Structure formats: C-alpha cells, structure tokens
Amino acid sequence: MEQHLDQDPGEHPREDPGADAGGEGVCWLSRVCPACGRLAEDPRALRCPQCAEELPAPG
C-alpha cells in the first residue's frame, strides 16, 4: 500500500463512497437471459436475442 507523507501510518486513505457502489440496478434482472446470461437491450423483449429463451417476467 502506498504511503502518503501527510498520512498517519494507522490511517486508511479515504475512498470515494460512490466509486464502486455496485453494478446495474436490479430492475434490469428481467432482461437477463436465464439460459445464456445475455442482457436484452430492448426492455420490452420477451425472448433472448441470442438464444431465443423466454425472458423472466418483470417483477
């Protein structure tokens, strides 16, 4: 770990709380194909554009 001169050795550097807050919203879950994992770009899609598997119903 890189040490900054103005930093106490026992102190951890501040991290941006929004830097890695997570992935995409859970509302996109119904657009993920259960068979191949592809994300359907069209939010109204009923079938996967790659493998034609039926997409889950929005919840």
Confirm whether 8 is domain-assigned.
Answer: no
CA–CA dist 51, 24 (Å, integer): 22
* Counted domains in the chain: 1
- Taking only the tens place, the pLDDT of each residue in 4-53 is 566 566 665 555 555 566 676 678 899 999 999 999 999 999 999 999 99
Q: SS3 of 28, please?
A: helix
Q: Please check whether residue 46 lies inside any domain of the structure.
A: yes
Provide the residue range defining the domain that includes 50.
Answer: 25-59
Q: Quick check: pTM over 0.85? A: no
With respect to residue 51, please indicate whether it lies within any of the assigned structural domains. Answer: yes
Return the C-alpha torsion angle 43, 48, 49, 50, nearest 10.
140
Residue 31 lies in a domain: yes
